[in-house]
Amino acid sequence: MAIVTPPRPAATAPEQPLNAPIRFLRRPTGYTKGLWGWMTTVDHKKIGIMYLGTAFFFFLLGGLEALLLRIQLGSPENTFLSADAYNQVFTMHGTTMIFLVIMPLSAGLANYLLPLMIGARDVAFPRLNAIGYWIFLLGGLFMYSSFFLGGAPNGGWFGYVPLSRSMPGHNMDYWAFGLQILGISSLTGAVNLIVTVINMRAPGMSLMRMPIFVWMSLVSQFLLLFAIPVITVALFLLSFDRLFSTNFFNVSAGSDPLLWQHLFWLFGHPEVYILILPAMGIVSEVLPVFSRKPLFGYQVMVFSGIAIGFLGWGVWAHHMFATGLGPVAVSAFSASTMFIAVPTGVKIFNWIATMWRGKLTFTTPMLFAIGFVSMFTIGGLSGVTHGVVPGDTQQTDTYYIVAHFHYVLFGGSMFGLFAGAYYWYPKFAGRLLNERLGKAHFWLMFLGFNLTFAPFHIIGLQGMPRRIYTYPEGRGWDVWNLVSTVGSFVIAVSVLVFIYNLWVTRKPQEVGDDPWDARTLEWTIPSPPPEYNFKEIPLVTSRDELWHRKYTEDEHGRSVRREVPEGQPKMEGTEVEPTGGEGHEGPEHVGDHADTEAGDHEGAEHEPHIHMPSPSYWPLFTALGLPIISYGMIYKVWAVAILGGLWTVSGMYAWALEPATAPEDTPVHGPDTSGDEVEAVPVS
């Protein structure tokens, strides 16, 4: 089994002889560094960083596409983009931002943070985690390869049939197979994170003590688990229609093309909550820290998140009010659409109540979190107006809808994700981002965002339709479109400020474990965390565990800092308060744990020997087969598709037969050939 030394590169030097020159197919070890180290890693933190980095790259691509769209629409009868190029760019802009940016950014944060927040050393299935990332990367590259291979997808991000069925060229094939690949990535991630949260919590971390970000991620992973198979079927039916001339969406054969819309939106509406719930979780972590108050109504926040998760399955047809569903269905979905505003509104009031009479500090993450609450409220309110059927029938497919979903997805999700980026960056990198630049980023983005998207409400109500590549002069849309184009460049500048911020703060800093005086477990460990996360698995006695380890109440109910002995380096598991919080595990358990802690402390200065799963080539190898299958299918070169299939299957066999920890990866202890999938169990 693997012995993990501390992550600082220098520390591995004594073991170097064991790290013989890497030959391909020789198992990488915990000491494999550099490019191979990243390509074979199963460490949830490295995978999380790769998710975040890759998604940010796609964010820049999607943003570039947005700028192209805005240049084209900046003036009437513009010829900057042809109609065909415009179709490709808007389809890829939407597909990129949803599937290649917001989803993987949330996945990356969840990957990095969930184990830290619940006190675990890794996720439940580390290699499955790795393949989830590689499939995401390859799926994104596969879809973008279409730009060089005959043209990108051009049928809109929701690919309505019969249009996308009969589109010539391979554009929509790339879309269907690309999303299919990305769906596999999301599904593996969902299974992995659900099991991690259900099964790998530290002792005492009961469900109702979990940080709210863990809860919201859990709900969104459950939504993914159930929503992905629905779009998988829809995409299979579409691909079969395009490849094998089946009749699923063939209207002349008597088919009902509304089936596509039902399947797509049965996936697509839970997807909306998949995109927003993690951001809600982030904001619910950030606001209490910078208000210096606990989250107002934690239980209600949890239950409203779960309620959103359930109700999210009952509102999909509000995307289809204009299709003629009949009065009963329309009334039912109208009511459910308005009803889902209730748990969402509860959350907004709880965020406000969290800040109410708190000691607010307006750091960059706090500004983004407040920006989230305000912008998301606007987007949520325009969302409620979609539930009003007569109004929605008028607004469908106008820029009013575009305004709405940019307010919830950009003003909501992206602002929340930027709040998270600034908040957790010191934990990820061991460096704080520059506050002055961060504030410039926030205010520029806030200004640019509203300049860009607020005018959409107006031109939408004036009747400007979505997806048109140009428009005639004199409709009253010209000025607002120009304002919007200017605003989009302000957003672009704000993103450049963010990149510049990442660059100027690249030098190592001393940020300490807990630069924000925060409340949750990830701040009890060094920044950046060691590979094994926790030297000792923490014992959790209350919600906001770290806060209760640092603060207690005086007789007036005010928070006072506990006295921490000078020499005490960590507060892991030692500063427990056996009576804190509700529903703790009982005294006999606490006592039991305390014994082992006492034992550990004698050797606390030694390097801990902790078993972590070994890196592996097979996740990347297995993932590589999927684009091969897809190219073979799209171009109907069956031999290539079969080759890709065999490639993937052989990768899966090699994976299954490979022990989770390599025998040669044991420099100190005797070999252990345990072939169990999961070794990242909390063994201190």
Q: Which CB, 361 or 674, lies closer to another protein?
A: 674
Strand residue runs (E) in 478-618? 551-553, 559-561
Report the length, in residues, of the chain.
684
Tell me the window of 56-64, 231-239, 302-310, 351-359 that interacts with another protein (CB under 8 A): 231-239
Residue 146, CB-side half-sphere exposure with 13 Å CA sphere: 29
Contact between 604 and another protein (CB under 8 A)?
yes
122 catalytic residue (yes or no): yes
- Count of other CB atoms within 10 angstroms of residue 566: 5
Q: Which DSSP symbol is given to 560? A: E
647-666: contacts with another protein (CB under 8 A): 653, 656
Q: Which of 292, 439, 466, 570 is catalytic?
A: 466
Q: Which CB, 89 or 124, lies closer to another protein?
A: 124
Angle subtended at Cα 231 by Cα 115 and Cα 418, rounded to the nearest 5 degrees: 40
Counting residues that bind another protein (by CB under 8 A) gives 72
Q: Which DSSP symbol is given to 508? A: -
H, E, C per residue of 81-131: CCHHHHHHHHHHHHHHHHHHHHHHHHHHHHHHHHHHHHCCCCCCCHHHHHH
331 catalytic residue (yes or no): no
Question: Which tokens sit at 37?
Answer: 């180290």
Tell me the window of 144-152, 245-253, 393-401, 551-559 that interacts with another protein (CB under 8 A): 245-253
Strand partners, 465: 398
What string marks each residue from 257 to 276 as x (binds another protein by CB under 8 A) or -?
--x---x--x----------
622 catalytic residue (yes or no): no
183-222: contacts with another protein (CB under 8 A): 187, 190-192, 194-195, 198-203, 205
Contact between 554 and another protein (CB under 8 A)?
no
Contact between 346 and another protein (CB under 8 A)?
no
Q: Which of 51, 112, 133, 157 is catalytic?
A: 157
Tell me the window of 171-179, 282-290, 594-602, 627-635 that interacts with another protein (CB under 8 A): 594-602
76-135: contacts with another protein (CB under 8 A): 124-125
347 catalytic residue (yes or no): yes
Return the closest-CA partner of residue 291 out of 544, 541, 117, 509: 544
CA–CA separation, 470 and 70 (whole Å): 11
Contact between 611 and another protein (CB under 8 A)?
yes
- Count of other CB atoms within 10 angstroms of residue 350: 18
Among 517, 577, 585, 658, binds another protein (CB under 8 A): 585
> Which SS3 state, helix, strand or coil, does residue 63 take?
helix
Contact between 593 and another protein (CB under 8 A)?
yes
Residue 497, CB-side half-sphere exposure with 13 Å CA sphere: 19
CA–CA separation, 262 and 256 (whole Å): 10
Q: How far is the CB of 404 from another protein (least distance, A)?
A: 27
Contact between 574 and another protein (CB under 8 A)?
no
Helices within 245-363 (DSSP H only): 258-291, 298-311, 327-339, 341-355
Question: Which tokens sit at 323?
Answer: 């299709």
377 catalytic residue (yes or no): no
466 catalytic residue (yes or no): yes
Amino acid code (one letter) for 658? E
Q: How far is the CB of 608 from another protein (least distance, A)?
A: 5
Contact between 676 and another protein (CB under 8 A)?
yes
Work out the end-to-end distance of the chain between its first and last CA atoms, rounded to an integer number of angstroms: 14
Tell me the window of 96-104, 129-137, 409-417, 675-683 that interacts with another protein (CB under 8 A): 675-683
Q: Which CB, 563 or 602, lies closer to another protein?
A: 602
Among 214, 272, 537, 546, binds another protein (CB under 8 A): 537
186 catalytic residue (yes or no): yes
Q: Which of 185, 196, 382, 542 is catalytic?
A: 185
Rounded to 5 degrees, φ, ψ at 5 are -90, 165
121 catalytic residue (yes or no): no
Q: Which CB, 145 or 232, lies closer to another protein?
A: 232
Tell me the window of 93-101, 246-254, 469-477, 626-634 that interacts with another protein (CB under 8 A): 246-254
Among 14, 53, 150, 229, binds another protein (CB under 8 A): 229
Block residue for tokens 């929701």: 158
Tell me the window of 224-232, 393-401, 510-518, 523-531 that interacts with another protein (CB under 8 A): 224-232
Q: Are 574 and 597 spatial neighbours (Cβ–Cβ below 8 Å)?
A: yes
Question: Which tokens sit at 78?
Answer: 């513009």
Contact between 592 and another protein (CB under 8 A)?
yes
H or E stretch including 157?
none
Q: Are 356 and 434 spatial neighbours (Cβ–Cβ below 8 Å)?
A: no
461-480: contacts with another protein (CB under 8 A): none
Q: Which of 93, 127, 209, 593 is catalytic?
A: 93
252 catalytic residue (yes or no): no
Tell me the window of 350-358, 364-372, 545-553, 592-600 that interacts with another protein (CB under 8 A): 592-600
CA–CA separation, 383 and 374 (whole Å): 14
- Count of other CB atoms within 10 angstroms of residue 362: 12
Amino acid code (one letter) for 317? A
Question: Which tokens sit at 498?
Answer: 């963010």
406 catalytic residue (yes or no): no
Contact between 643 and another protein (CB under 8 A)?
no
Among 26, 475, 609, 636, binds another protein (CB under 8 A): 609
Tell me the window of 60-68, 79-87, 338-346, 597-605 that interacts with another protein (CB under 8 A): 597-605
Q: Which of 242, 262, 269, 543 is catalytic?
A: 269
For 169, residues 6+ apart whose C-beta sits below 8 A from its C-beta are 150, 151
Among 552, 600, 640, 667, binds another protein (CB under 8 A): 600
Q: Which of 173, 271, 522, 575 is catalytic?
A: 271
Return the closest-CA partner of residue 157 out of 175, 136, 173: 175
CA–CA separation, 508 and 430 (whole Å): 7
Q: Which CB, 291 or 666, lies closer to another protein?
A: 666
131-190: contacts with another protein (CB under 8 A): 187, 190
164 catalytic residue (yes or no): no
Question: Which tokens sit at 259?
Answer: 């089936």
160 catalytic residue (yes or no): no
Q: How far is the CB of 294 from another protein (least distance, A)?
A: 24
Q: How far is the CB of 10 from another protein (least distance, A)?
A: 20
Catalytic positions, please? 93, 122, 157, 185-186, 269, 271, 273, 284, 318-319, 344, 347, 466
